[in-house]
Amino acid sequence: MDANTLLNKRPSEVSVEVLDPEHYHVLVKAIRNILSTELAELSIAQLIDGLPLMIWVFEGRGCLLGKGHPMLEHENLCEGAIEQARLFRDTFDPAILQFSSKVMQAYQDSGIGSREFKMRLVELTAVAVHNVAVLLYQKQPKLHSQEEIDATVSWTMPPRWIADDGLKPRWEEDIEPHPTLFYHVNYLDHDRYTHGLADVAGYWAEDRIFGGVVLFDRGESAYECNDIYFHSGRVKGTFRIWKLLDSQFDGLVSFLMSDDVTPRPPISFPILASRDNGHRHDPWDAIALHNIYRDPWERKFPDTKPEEWRNVRSIGDYPELRDAFNEITNYKPEEPFNVTLDYDKNGLPIVSKRVRVSELSDDDMSQASSGKRRKIEDEFRKTPPPHSPPLLDSPPPLGSPPPLSSPPRLHSPESLELLSSVDENPRETLLPQTSTQSPVATSPRSSRPPNSPNSPKQAKVSLPESISHHAEHVPGNLDIGSKEIVTEPVSVDSDCPENIKESRFTTGGTRSEE
């Protein structure tokens, strides 16, 4: 049954006097007990005053009080408000209240002490608090004048630039105020309520006294009373609709049915959600999907769920996130794995996970038919990739040996000093006596002129293997026709052996003596 059909089928209302004596006395006692609480006394006093306390407005969600609002000065109630509230409570007659005939019939048919009886008792008590607030909101005169009340309710902050908290200045338009200051932010559809704004104040009173607007799981028939939920309007409470724990429900029923209200009741008011109240629903889901409400006309809701304006979900609203965080934090793998630390040739650590192929599960190894077995084995047998050769003009890697110096080249401008030691298998070259070329390999001590009395003797010199090897490939004084390499004379000290003769080295490997 849709909401429009239910709106057009509002049941008739009856007084508590239609009940049998046993059910009547239990309900009247429950109404008196709830009105005797301190929160009920303050709520009644504010309705008599005409304006709520500033702190109570700030405690509710949807507060629009800004700088300069007249409500900021309403920190205390007018004189005589508390006294009138107590007088009203003591002289109040529940017989003047009207209740739904369907709910009264369900309460009458339930057995005393049954779960159905308790559910209906809480429902009727919540409706009684709501109706009391309706009567007080409509009662005139108030302690504040009606002109003062209207000016306070309709006050709006003019449009202005806002530049605070280090943010970029922004232009803020005036915000339309709520139609009354006695409101629950989710129950402002006064145009569909029987008593208009007075019903808005009734939902406010439920929230302030019980801890939330009292709702029920109506089931498929829309008239059942399966479970009890609260819809809290406090800014420090959850915005979601939450189910009462069995202990909370039992404590509430025990308080309502108690003969004498003790200083320490079985439950304290208001009843607020804690992390133990994990059964919750978003407001749209509750009424649109789960039939959780007290009256189907109490809240308007679109056909589709609106997008969330919150970009962060808190544990206070979604306590199931705490369990998810704990599972992630306390996660431990079923099979531990070993991590070995190796070092490459540059001394840098290599972290790799090594798992034996034999330790793979049968499920992993059963992938052979699809060609995945080889891939699994290759993944675990991978070795660190070889280091790529350094780029040109890049510094040598850390720990590499110094680069080799360039081999000596014949006919280079640098002088070559002959070593005194000779290799075991030297290769000999012929040093001609004269040459027109500039000397390439000369001794630093051969500065004397060639025709002097002490002119150096021509010597046959054995060059080391490294030098003679390069001499074969240097195109110095190379005769292409004879394939001979001609070297320049070298001065030799007098202590050289006498049998040094002039030699000629050819590329063919033969030697001739003159």
pTM: 0.63
CA-CA distance, 125 to 37, in Å (whole number)?
Answer: 13
Instruction: Tell me the pLDDT tens digit for each residue of 356-404.
Output: 555 555 555 555 444 555 555 555 555 555 555 555 555 655 555 555 5
DSSP state of 292: E
CA-CA distance, 184 to 231, in Å (whole number)?
Answer: 10
CA 169 to the chain's CA centroid = 28
CA-CA distance, 69 to 205, in Å (whole number)?
Answer: 23
Dihedral pair phi/psi, residue 93, rounded to 5°: -115, 110
pLDDT band at 208 (very low <50, low <70, confident <90, very high): very high
Q: Which residues of 459-481 are buried (b: 16+ CB within 10 A; e: fewer)?
A: bbbbbeeebbeebeebeebeeee
pLDDT band at 115 (very low <50, low <70, confident <90, very high): very high
Q: Tell me what pLDDT residue 507 has.
A: 45
Least confident of 63-72, 116-125, 431-440: 431-440
Rounded to the nearest integer, the mean pLDDT of the chain is 77
In terms of Cβ atoms closer than 10 Å to its own Cβ (0-12, 13-18, 19+), residue 243 is buried
CA-CA distance, 321 to 328, in Å (whole number)?
Answer: 11
**Is 90 exceeded by the pLDDT of residue 412?**
no
What would the mean pLDDT of 132-153 be, rounded to a whole number? 95
Dihedral over Cα of 374, 378, 379, 380: its sign: positive
Q: Tell me what pLDDT residue 445 has.
A: 47
pLDDT over 70, % of the chain: 63
CA-CA distance, 462 to 95, in Å (whole number)?
Answer: 135
**508 CB-near residues (< 8 Å, 6+ apart):** 483
CA-CA distance, 294 to 126, in Å (whole number)?
Answer: 10
| Contact by Cβ (8 Å): 426, 463 | yes
